[in-house]
Amino acid sequence: MNRCFGLAALLLLTVGCEVDYLAAPVTDAGPPPAPAIVTAASPMAAIVGGGLLVTRDERYGAIADLDRDIVWLVDLEAMTPHARIDLEPGDRPNRLVEDGFGRVHVALRRGGAVVAIDVLSGELVRRTAVCPAPRGVDYDPARNVIAVACLDGDLIELDAETHAERRRIAVTPDLRDVVVDGERVLVSTFRSAEVFAVDGAGAVEAVPTAIDAHPSGFDGPRTHQPRVAWRMVRGPDGVELLHQRHRAEALPDLPAPNQYYSASNCSNAVLHSTVATVGVPHRDGRPPAALRAGLVVDAVRAFDGRLVLAEPMFDDWVASRPRSGCFDGDGPAADTPIRLGNGVVAVARWHRFALAYDRFDARLFTVATPDGAPSLLSELRFDIAQRADTGHRLFHTPTSSLIACASCHPEGGEDGHVWVFEAFGPRRTQTLHGGISGRAPLHWSGDLADFDALMSEVFVSRMGGVDLHPVETQALAAWVDTVPHLPTLPVIDRAAVDRGAVVFDAAGCRECHFTDGTVDPENHDVGTGEPLQVPSLLGAAHRLPLMHDGCAPDLAARFDPACGGDAHGQLDALTPAARADLVHYLRAL
């Protein structure tokens, strides 16, 4: 079904034309025809969110187009392109920050570097390797340094002019964003949504975050754990964290179709999004209100204090209305947010307006944000091909329950959450990095024979999605197989890695875990009390905690007797040194 949208002056705005891949005409002549399938010429990267910056003088905008490996500079007053900076293929630019000398610094998530771009000339003036996967950047004017948060857990500070390394501090793995907050530097983690403060001496301290206990709910109180911190930014009342909250209590054993993976039924939701002020306790024990939106990947405050949300696969641009019966939340997230969809992955504030970047059509919008619906003021379409892929779209589009595949598998990976099911106990979300071809049967228990069975059980029955046409299912599986593994962690001790490879073979690990990424398709009981599927060990160091119930907070803990222990490989005769070498080897996979 084709939908073309136009401008309704100062009222509800929808822009562009799109193909609704989730719907097909029904006739009496038999099954509906196969919908149109679009496959991108090169794999489309999973949605990350962010990548839009307004300079302090509000004259220019900078856009990091992660899918095209381009940084755009825009003259915002004229709404015209100022410069195009082409990066190396696969660099994946995302977070940006402006220094005090008219340069914008961009983190290249896959390029392992930070680049500096002169705004006035539009020239790339410096490229500096920093870590395998830099994610967040911020500027400290007091010390004239660029702070870089890395996937491997390092916080690196570079001289803003020369990019010479000033200091490197090991914080914790899976860092996401960094915000200079006075004399301290705050860094967030992606999957666990934790925040850490680093002081001037390099000391690291955890910043308390909310334990989300909700007194409401038609079938009892609910507790949600902070997860998946998409964005950490400065807000009007402090540093704010846009993150998801995932249900901690057991999920009921309901007959299919039950749609119990939901973000739309308020206090009984399996997950939802919220914005919390970092380090600020909640009044009367009330947590921030749920946004009750779909996949929200970026947020900014409008001039009136309301949230402007990037909800990329939302069908329309709408101003969401207050809803009754939801969480008794507190704080700014309870205000009525403005939701921007139609491919918008990044938002920023500009004067009394909001800027929004549509990554798929390569368009920048200026949006007014009055009390009513948002309205388009201007639009800049970049002279470059649109990007579209049916599988990519299906993966990121929320179902009727406001849950998308990307909600639990953000960026094509996993949320680090251990879900509890009344029917079969704890199950830690499995990763999709590296694709899933060759992994069948699927799920920890191996109860789903193939991808078709996975879609029927999870996407349709649990998430409330529509039945997909077989060609759509194929397109989704094909896109998932393009999701790459995360960059390998730096090798700390090469000799230990080599010794660990010998231990890996001697302990019999290779009998089930094939280091080419494939695994033994048979279920095995490795001290867990039930036979389970064998996960790939590629990138295992990135997806802590380990095991089906998350009993191992790190690689070394996997060998604890309480977490499988000697029933999981021939480990009883290993010395502590041999186990340490084995950990080095697993970390390097």
The strand ranges marked E within 417-566 are 418-421, 425-428
Lowest mean pLDDT among 41-45, 107-111, 326-330: 326-330
CATH superfamily of domain region 494-588: Cytochrome c-like domain (1.10.760.10)
Lowest mean pLDDT among 85-94, 436-445, 552-561, 567-576: 567-576
Secondary structure of residue 162 in the 3-state scheme: coil
Q: By percentage, how much of the chain surpasses pLDDT 90?
A: 60
Count CA atoms closer than 13 A to 181's CA, side-chain side: 26
Higher pLDDT, 334 or 506: 506
pLDDT tens sequence across 125-138: 999 999 999 999 99
Q: Two tokens at 345?
A: 């992955």
Q: Two tokens at 376?
A: 């388009």
The predicted pLDDT at position 569 comes to: 78
Mean pLDDT of 241-255: 86
Secondary structure of residue 242 in the 3-state scheme: strand
CA angle centred on 119, ends 115 and 120, rounded to 5°: 140
CA-based nearest residue to 527, from 574, 478, 566, 576: 566
Is residue 316 scored above 80 in pLDDT?
A: no
CB 121 within 8 A of CB 101: no
Within the chain, all domains assigned CATH 1.10.760.10 are found at 494-588
Within the chain, all domains assigned CATH 2.130.10.10 are found at 45-207
pLDDT grade for 402, boundaries at 50, 70 and 90:
confident
Q: Buried b / exposed e across 329-353, counting CB within 10 Å, b at 16+?
A: bbbbbbbebbbbbbbbbbbbbbeeb
Output the average pLDDT for the chain.
85
- CA quadruple 473, 475, 476, 478: dihedral positive or negative? positive
Q: Two tokens at 295?
A: 């996949």
Mean pLDDT of 28-54: 88
CB 101 within 8 A of CB 407: no
Helix H or strand E encompassing 395: helix 390-396
Helices vs strands, H then E, count in the chain: 6, 32
Mean pLDDT of 508-524: 83
Is residue 9 scored above 50 in pLDDT?
A: no
CA-based nearest residue to 460, from 527, 497, 405, 407: 405
Helix H or strand E encompassing 578: helix 576-588
Lowest mean pLDDT among 226-240, 263-277, 298-312, 433-447: 263-277
Question: What separation, in Å, do the N-terminal and C-terminal C-alpha atoms of the chain show?
Answer: 45
The predicted pLDDT at position 15 comes to: 30
Is-above-0.85 flag for pTM?
yes
pLDDT tens sequence across 425-466: 999 999 999 998 888 899 999 999 999 999 999 999 888 888
Which residues contact residue 74 at a Cβ distance below 8 angstroms, ignoring those fewer than 6 apart?
60, 61, 62, 63, 80, 81, 82, 364, 380
CATH number for the domain whose boundaries are 45-207: 2.130.10.10
Which residues contact residue 435 at a Cβ distance below 8 angstroms, ignoring those fewer than 6 apart?
480, 481, 482, 483
Q: Two tokens at 377?
A: 């003021």
CB 438 within 8 A of CB 233: no
